[in-house]
Amino acid sequence: MRPLTYVAVDTAAIKHNLSQVRGLLQPATALMAVVKANGYGHGLVLAARACAEAGAEWLGVSLVEEGIALRQAGLTLPVLVFLPFPAEQAEALVEHDLCATVVSERQLTALARAGEAAGRPARCQLFLDSGLGRPGVGENLARLVELAAGFPQLRLEGVYTHLDAEVSAAGSLLEVVRPGTELRLFAATARSLAARAGGQGLLVHAAASASVLLRPDTHLDLVRVGTLLYGQYPGAVPPSRRPLELRSTLELRSTILAVDQLPPGATVGYGAEYRCPRPTRVALLPVGYAVGLGVLPESLARRRHQGWKGCLRRWLRPEQEAPTIGGRPVPLLGRIAMDWCCLDVTDLPEAEVGTEVVLPVRRLMMDSALERVEV
């Protein structure tokens, strides 16, 4: 039985979007599908499986626990864990064949010892910060590459950085004179260090979704793509640089539980902040801010407020899309409660108990406990 409220995930759309991104890449450039944060709200395993079936060569997550969940679900693609790991998680990284991000000698040593104890390879990549203030290997890059070569069960698979898409388009003076120069130097340096230490086949990567579109010179050996796979363009990408035909991949859906007829002047929701201006059919949905809907009444958000209070209200919650029934917009009435909200269905006589409603919601704010249903 399908739940009253659920997240509908279009895995065919995810596969389509991945194919669109793939068309921008050179054949030698691999694609890492980023499935962190519960697959951007789509469900970790559901999103990862769709990307694997569409041909992604790698999967990217933030936490060791996410990587373990992918392995327990039967996914066998290489998985890179982005965030630096505490030493006590080294054994789990090795046990589940996850590739760790290493930023210190202490991490590298802990991972190598875990690999030796288990008698199996411990996989890792080194992270070099490029201006975001994140922990990175910094000037220790050469030292860590050399150290990694001395551990028989440690497999150094790559060196990577993460570009700030909002500033990387401009770059330094060197980049202006010859675009891509600094990244080519970065890649050449990393490969040279690995070759001198006896390593080979090192992946060098820097580009995420925005850079994939704005800076083809950043593609290197691999690109890490997240938001594009889920039908959204990064905010740093101007409309003129959006060539892909992306498809929407997710909807929050709920079901009308009750419909009531209220007279003019009746109030709806906590605080009596909405008063019906006419005879109004009000539909009740079993979904509220506990799963990611806002708390400001949509009926108030649509008004044009004056003065500083109105500016503050618009800043806290800008106008957003309305819920829809059969593709037609339906106003939210009154303040959204924790687990219910009301809709004005006066102009939709076909809206009855059991009718399905599509609700606008911030994807990453959605409760992870909501069931994800493949559609």
User: Do 231 and 272 fall within a single domain?
Assistant: no
Q: Provide the pLDDT for residue 265.
A: 97
| Structural domains in the chain (count) | 2
Per-residue model confidence (pLDDT) at position 2 = 85
Across the chain, mean pLDDT equals 88
Query: What residue type is 222 in one-letter code?
Result: L
* pLDDT of 318 above 50: no
Strand pairing category for 280-285 and 324-325: unpaired
* Domain match, 100 and 206 both: yes
For position 323, which CATH number holds? 2.40.37.10
Q: Kindly list the catalytic residues.
A: 36, 270
Assess whether 91 and 181 both reside in one domain.
Answer: yes
Give the CATH number, domain containing residue 97.
Answer: 3.20.20.10
Same domain as 135, residue 98: yes
Return the DSSP state at 180: T
Domain's final residue, options 194, 209, 241: 241
pLDDT tens digits for range 92-131: 999 999 999 999 999 999 999 999 999 999 999 999 987 7
Whether residues 207 and 306 share a domain: the answer is: no
pLDDT digits (tens, 9 = 90+) for 163-179: 876 544 444 433 433 44
The closest alpha carbon to 32, from 63, 55, 60, 12, belongs to 60
Domain shared by 228 and 266, yes or no: no
Residue 77 lies in a domain: yes
Closest CA to 7 of 365, 322, 318, 258: 365
Q: Is residue 359 part of a domain?
A: no
Residue 136's nearest CA partner among 168, 160, 170, 172 is 160
**Nearest CA to 107 among 79, 129, 135?**
135
- Report the C-alpha gap between 95 and 109 in whole angstroms: 16
Residue 364 lies inside a defined structural domain of this protein: no
Q: Is residue 2 part of a domain?
A: no
- Residue 63 falls inside a structural domain: yes
Determine the pLDDT at residue 200: 66
| 99 is a domain residue | yes
- Tell me: do 139 and 73 sit in the same domain: yes
pLDDT for 51 equals 98
Q: Residue 80 domain-assigned?
A: yes
Contacts of 184 (CB under 8 A, 6+ apart): 217
Alpha helices for the chain (secondary structure H): 11-22, 36-40, 44-53, 64-72, 90-95, 105-118, 141-149, 165-168, 173-177, 181-196, 209-214, 298-301, 307-316
Which residues on neighbouring strands pair with residue 284, listed in sequence order?
258, 342
Same domain membership, residue 273 and residue 142: no
Q: Which amino acid is at 265?
A: G
Range 238-266 average pLDDT = 96
* pLDDT tens for each residue of 257-267: 999 999 999 99
- Domain extent, residue 46, equals 11-241
Quote the CA–CA distance of 93 and 38 in Å, as a whole number: 19
251 within a domain of the structure (yes/no): no
Q: How many residues does the chain have?
A: 375
Each residue of 205-217: pLDDT tens digit? 999 999 999 999 8
| Bridge partners of residue 260, in order along the sequence | 282
Nearest to 49 by CA among 24, 69, 21, 29: 69
C-alpha to C-alpha distance for 287 and 254, rounded to whole angstroms: 7
Specify whether 217 is located in the same domain as 261.
Answer: no
Indicate whether 261 and 227 sit together in one domain.
no
**31: helix, strand or coil:** strand
In whole angstroms, give the CA distance from residue 238 to residue 217: 18
For the record, the structure tokens of 95 come out as 């046990």
The residue among 189, 211, 241 that closes a domain is: 241
